[in-house]
Amino acid sequence: MEDEDPRSETVDEALQKKHHDMLERFSARHQARKSDSAFSSSSSSTFESTSSFLSQFADSKRSIESRIAELRLASSSSEDSSKIRSDLAEISSSIDDLEKLVAANSYFLPSYEVRSSLRSASDLKQSLDALSAAVLPKKKFSFKSKPSSSSATKIQKRDLAPPPTNVVVRDSPGFRNKRGETLAKSFRSSSSSSSMGEFTLSDLDSCRVHLTGTVNALFIHRLRNCSVYTGPVLGSILIDDVEDCVLVVASHQIRIHRAKKSDFYLRVRSRPIIEDSSGVRFGPYCLGYGGIEEDLKTAGLEEETESWANVDDFLWLRAVHSPNWSLLPQEERLSSVSISGEGDS
């Protein structure tokens, strides 16, 4: 019997290796197709949700535009100012609802669509303001019984744009330039809960802030070593340039710029957004005061959705978890904070 040629064995081994490599390539390609299929399904779902939102938004926008046009024509021949005020208030409420629709769906919408929708809502508000100035020239038009959409629009537009280099401190009521003080204010009346437009906390150092009741929008700017406890905000909260702070706040939308080494206890309807921040931690809203349940219901925040735990870091584009934020360990969280309604109303 002749000996086998060693060269034949080498050829067989090479063929086996080639066959094995080919099978691995087929397997990898199959797995990639499966992943692509799952991704396509997810993308399709997101696309359908976006399309549904855009259709609903467009219908509501057209309806509001039509009502503004109709009121413009009707007001030229009407002398019933109370009816005109009522119609203006109803349209303003519809614009509020449109903004809430954007906030409620912002977690899955592309950033461009969110900004575009908020611009459209802002344009509607400007049209309404122009109409109200024309038909009610003797008195600046405002609504006392309902949240003003202008405040929510301004904060949301700023929230969803790239972070500005210097945030302009708004000319609104608020606490400014304080150090080492306890600052308290109640927005609740003796007969029923009430709200005001915008409120600002700016340039505070080593202060403790108590806000009870509801406001339409809250701006927090340049705080150091402060503790802030607030009742629910009807629109949005913009937080910029805070360090070594504890903030217990509730709102439909919360955006955080340039925060460092701070803890946030939130109740929020959409995902909290952070930018240019580091060392920030998140836990659930834990505030208590007399009447807070009524205020939460008024703001539509009575239910805990746990959105506080789903934070979006807009400047972290990798698939892995952002190192800039974390959830507060259970043993380090505040269990509850109780404040009174002291302060002028």
Domain of 216 in residue numbering reads as 174-338
Total domains, the chain: 2
Q: What is the mean pLDDT of residues 321-339?
A: 93
Residues 112 and 199 grouped into a single domain: no
Question: Domain of 72: which CATH number?
Answer: 1.20.58.1250
pLDDT digits (tens, 9 = 90+) for 25-42: 555 554 554 444 444 444
Check whether residue 124 and residue 183 sit in a common domain: no
* Domain co-membership, 66 together with 139: yes
For residue 205, pLDDT over 50 is answered with: yes
Residues 6+ apart with CB under 8 A from 275: 163, 255, 256, 257, 258, 313, 314, 315
Residue-wise pLDDT tens digits, 210-222: 999 999 899 999 9
* CA pair distance 215, 316, nearest whole angstrom: 31
- pTM (2 decimals)? 0.53
At 333 the pLDDT is 94
213 and 249 housed in the same domain:
yes
Residue 334: both structure tokens together:
């505040």
Do residues 224 and 278 both lie within one domain?
yes
Distances (CA, A) of 218 to 174, 228, 252, 260, 298: 9, 12, 12, 19, 16
Task: Say if residues 201 and 221 touch (Cβ distance below 8 Å).
Answer: yes
> The dihedral of CA 68, 70, 76, 82: what is its sign?
negative
SS3 category, 220 = strand
Statement: residue 168 has pLDDT above 50: no
Q: 116 in a domain, yes or no?
A: yes
136, 267: one domain: no
The mean predicted confidence, pLDDT, of the chain is 77
Judgement on whether residues 141 and 250 belong to the same structural domain of the protein: no
- CB 208, CB 128: distance < 8 Å: no
Tell me 291's DSSP state.
T
Model pLDDT for residues 125-149, shown as the tens digit of each residue? 888 888 887 777 554 434 444 444 4
What DSSP character marks residue 193?
Answer: B
Among candidates 42, 47, 55, which has minimal Cα distance to 110? 47
